[in-house]
Amino acid sequence: QEKPPVLINLLVCGGGNGAHVLTGLASSRHNVKVNVLSLFADEAERWRNTLGDNHFVVNFREKDGTNKIITSRPNMITNDPSRAVPGCNLVIFTVPAFAHEGYFRAIAPYLEPNTVIVGLPSQPGFQFQCCDLLGLGGRTSAIVSFESLPWACRIGTFGREVQVLGPKDTLACAIIMRGCKTLFPILPTIQYIIGKEPKLTLAANYLSINLLADSVVHPPMMYGTWKDWDGQPVAEKPLFYQGLNEFSADLLDKVSTELVHTAQAIQQKYPEMDMKDVIHLFDWYKLNYKESIQDMSNLQMAMKTCSAYDGMVHPMKETPDGKFMPDFNYRYMTEDIPFGMVVFRGIAQLEGVPTPAMDETLTWGQKILGKEFLVDGEL
């Protein structure tokens, strides 16, 4: 890839898996200077201290199974937006959606005009928050929203080493320019930063990205796995994608169909809204993971035989006697229900599309979370 025509001052917001990978990859690129801003507890200080004078390592598993070791160092890791933000011309959010508002408010006073703001991924509603919370500096910010993270990844040693288990094949985003005058081409620059895979593509509009987001997958899988759970600890952590049961796969199929129907209803009502990017989850897997999947016979088998998911387990908490309980405070529930599925359900409700599968998932999920989103079949 061509390197960008100007120095990219990149601000990475976050400190988790995705932020680790992005920081490592971006810091290794020429003409890219990386500041990391983490507002979570003492995460920035822990990362700084753990890294010390060492190199940060990304252990990148390529599609062909070979491993590439990428070493680099970011320019700065801090929890202080007044140090991290000034001068940045590209800001990438790699934090859970419930934290987005805090970061928007923190960076707003220091944001310079014509900055590019990226949600990687950008749960449904990211664009609205951006417009709402970024104040004056944000008025000329371009907003880029990606449908999901570019890689399956996990931290090896916090602050030192992260593993990429596999990149996706392609990844779609929507760009809202809002009069932003950038000195660099947006998509090629983000592609340069993350590397050759996944291949980044442009979706037709931001609503279609909303209806494609990752958060359609996790809640039905959590529900399908734990709906009949007796509350007792289990002996081992169940596999997440590769342990997908028939009930969950069937529910995912139905939820995905409801989203496709919603997109079709929007397109019918507003013909100028091109919703062709909203495709069924099974078709999405065929497109995005075709090289990693052994058995494409149906959605359940495609998810169970996807090598990018090797060994990924359910989010669990260990009990004192070495058994495991499901962790319902994990982002699959706390983020993907309120900031994902509830938003989808709202868009479907506006279009008058019936959503029995989403409703079934939400009814269980809200009970677990102690929230009320859906009352008597209405949001």
Q: Hey, which residues are catalytic here?
A: 218
**N residues, the chain:** 379
Secondary structure class of 216 (helix, strand, coil): helix
Cis, bond preceding 188 (omega within 30 deg of 0): no
Inter-CA distances, 376 with 301, 320, 359, 363, 372, Å: 35, 40, 10, 10, 11
| Cβ-proximal residues to 163 (8 Å cutoff; 6+ apart), any chain | 58, 59, 61, 153, 154, 155, 156
Tokens of 91: 């800001």
The owner of tokens 């976050």 is 14
Whole-angstrom distance, CA of residue 301 vs CA of residue 116: 39
Task: Give the chain's count of helices (H) and strands (E).
Answer: 14, 14
The owner of tokens 């100007």 is 6
| Cβ-proximal residues to 282 (8 Å cutoff; 6+ apart), any chain | 253, 256, 298, 299, 302
Bridge partner residues of 9 (DSSP): 33
Bridge partner residues of 234 (DSSP): 324
Q: How would you classify residue 237: left for phi > 0, otherwise alpha for psi between -120 and 50, otherwise beta?
A: beta
Orientation of helix 218-226 relative to helix 356-369, angle to 10°? 70
Whole-angstrom distance, CA of residue 149 vs CA of residue 122: 9
Q: Are strands 151-157 and 32-37 parallel, antiparallel or unpaired?
A: unpaired
Q: Work out the widest C-alpha separation in the chain, in whole angstroms.
A: 59
The owner of tokens 């016979």 is 297
